[in-house]
Structure 1
Amino acid sequence: MPRYRVKFSKDGPARYSSHLDMVRFFDRSTRRAGIPVAFSEGFNPHPKFSFAAPLPVGVAGLEEYMDMELKEYLEPAEIARRLEVNLPEGYTILDIKEVADHAPALMSRVSRAAYRATATLPAGYSEVELKAAIDGLMDKQEITVIREVKGKRKEVDIRPGIFRLAGGVKGHILEINMELLIGSTGNVRPEEVLLKLSRDGGVPVDPEDFRIRRTALYAEGDAGLVSLWEV
């Protein structure tokens, strides 16, 4: 069966939909578009969609990926044209290409994610202070957070999963950029980093006041990091 990689964005009102909602939206939209999606066998068949990594509710995704299998071949441009007009507001098709049937699943390849968090600049707070807070956090050998795991509170060291952290001020906007671990080996959540910058670094912005966008997803390639579009 032909297999396609879909690059799309999820922003605006769509960022408040859950991962399960998104799967339903794509199922409904491909049906309306007359796209012959293949279904699994068994008692409860479901469309053969495979997403790279779920987005937390409230976080926008500017370059998200999913693979889907069809029962018959269609030109990628035709799939994009049909799908685009049937998706809910906030979802945009960026590109579609055919991939090899034996290509590894997206979820098994994704290893890093880039995020951009923005908030209104607090009065009197400077870029120098922000960069000092970031440097202070990155200089730590260990950064522990508390997570709920199967009903129990557990300390987790997220420092090994923070690969890059930078920030700046653009006009009245405070911006923080992160490159974090994601995938089968573990996850670091952008909200956890923002919470540490607030509590330990003194950044005077409540983490909930940031608008977070996931800007890219990466896999480990032979020559280093590559976009999931390239794997």
Structure 2
Amino acid sequence: MPRYRVKYSKEGPARYSSHLDMVRFFDRSTRRAKLPVAFSEGFNPHPKFSFAVPLPVGIAGLEEYMDMELKEYLDPREIALRLEPNLPEGYKILDIKQIEDRAVTLMSIVSRADYWATAPLPTGYSEGQLKATIDKLLEQEEIIVTRETKGKVKEVNIRPGIFSLAGDVKGHILEIKMELLIGSTGNVRPEEIFKKLYKNGVPVDPDDYRVRRTALYADDGTGPISLWEV
């Protein structure tokens, strides 16, 4: 059965929907679009969708991915034309292409993500101060954060998972761009970076950032490559 890779965005009110909500939205939307989606077998069949990495609630995704299996071939352009009008507000189809039947799953290959975050900045804080703070943070061999999983607290060194971190001050707006580890080998969460910046003197509450995930990458051994190119 033919498989397709769907590139889409999730912004505006859609960023407040959970990953489970999103799966339901795509299920409902493909039904309304009368797309011949393939389903799994068993007592509880579900549509054959495969997503890259779930987006945390509140974070927008400007370039997200899912794989979808159909029972019969349709031109990717027709799929987009039928699916787009049936998606909830905030979801947009960016592109669709057919992929090989045995193509590796998105979740198994995704390894990095780009983020762009903005927040209001109090007056009196300069771009020079921001860059000095970021440089000092990146000079550290270890950046330890505390995580709680299933009632257990552990310390994690996230420094190896920070591939890039930069910031700008544009008027009264602070802008942070970063490339972080994500996927099956581990992850670094944007809010962990914001907390470290705050602790090191950046006068912005970690909860005040508006975050967008702008790109997802695999690693082909020579460096990051867009999931669309895999």
1:147 partnered with 2:180: no
**Aligned mates of 1:114, 1:227 — CA distance in 2:** 11
User: What is the Cα deviation at residue 224 of structure 1?
Assistant: 2.1
Identity %: 77
SS of equivalent residue, structure 2 residue 23: helix
Instruction: Deviation per CA, 1:38-81: give whole Å up to 9, x if none.
Output: 00000100000000000000000000000000001110001001
Q: Do the aligned residues in 1 keep the contact of 2:123 with 2:172 (CA within 8 Å)? A: no
CA RMSD of aligned residues (A): 0.7
**Aligned mates of 2:198, 2:30 — CA distance in 1:** 43
**Aligned mates of 1:113, 1:171 — CA distance in 2:** 27
1:224 corresponds to? 223
User: What is the Cα deviation at residue 149 of structure 1?
Assistant: 1.5
2:72 corresponds to? 72
Q: Do the aligned residues in 1 keep the contact of 2:121 with 2:203 (CA within 8 Å)? A: no
User: What is the Cα deviation at residue 172 of structure 1?
Assistant: 2.4
1:34 corresponds to? 34
Q: Equivalent residues in 2 for 1:129-144 (5 A)? A: 129-144=129-144
| TM-score of the superposed pair, with normalisation by structure 2 | 0.98
User: What is the Cα deviation at residue 207 of structure 1?
Assistant: 0.6
User: What is the Cα deviation at residue 171 of structure 1?
Assistant: 2.7
The runs of 5 or more residues in structure 1 that have no matched partner are none
2:106 corresponds to? 106
**Aligned mates of 2:123, 2:57 — CA distance in 1:** 29
**Aligned mates of 1:65, 1:171 — CA distance in 2:** 34
Q: Equivalent residues in 2 for 1:3-152 (5 A)? A: 3-152=3-152
User: What is the Cα deviation at residue 120 of structure 1?
Assistant: 1.1
Q: Equivalent residues in 2 for 1:135-214 (5 A)? A: 135-199=135-199, 201-214=200-213
SS of equivalent residue, structure 1 residue 198: helix
**Aligned mates of 1:167, 1:76 — CA distance in 2:** 38
Instruction: Deviation per CA, 1:83-137: give whole Å up to 9, x if none.
Output: 1100000000000000001110000010000001100121111111111111111
The runs of 5 or more residues in structure 2 that have no matched partner are none
| Partner amino acid, structure 1, of 2:6 | V
Structure 1 segments (4+ residues) deviating >2 Å? none
User: What is the Cα deviation at residue 170 of structure 1?
Assistant: 2.0
User: What is the Cα deviation at residue 223 of structure 1?
Assistant: 3.8
- In the alignment of these two chains, the number of paired residues is 230
User: What is the Cα deviation at residue 222 of structure 1?
Assistant: 4.7
Query: 1:222–1:138: structure 2 CA closer, same or farther, 3 Å change rule?
Result: closer
| Partner amino acid, structure 2, of 1:218 | Y
Query: 1:175–1:75: structure 2 CA closer, same or farther, 3 Å change rule?
Result: same
| Partner amino acid, structure 1, of 2:16 | Y
| Partner amino acid, structure 1, of 2:113 | A
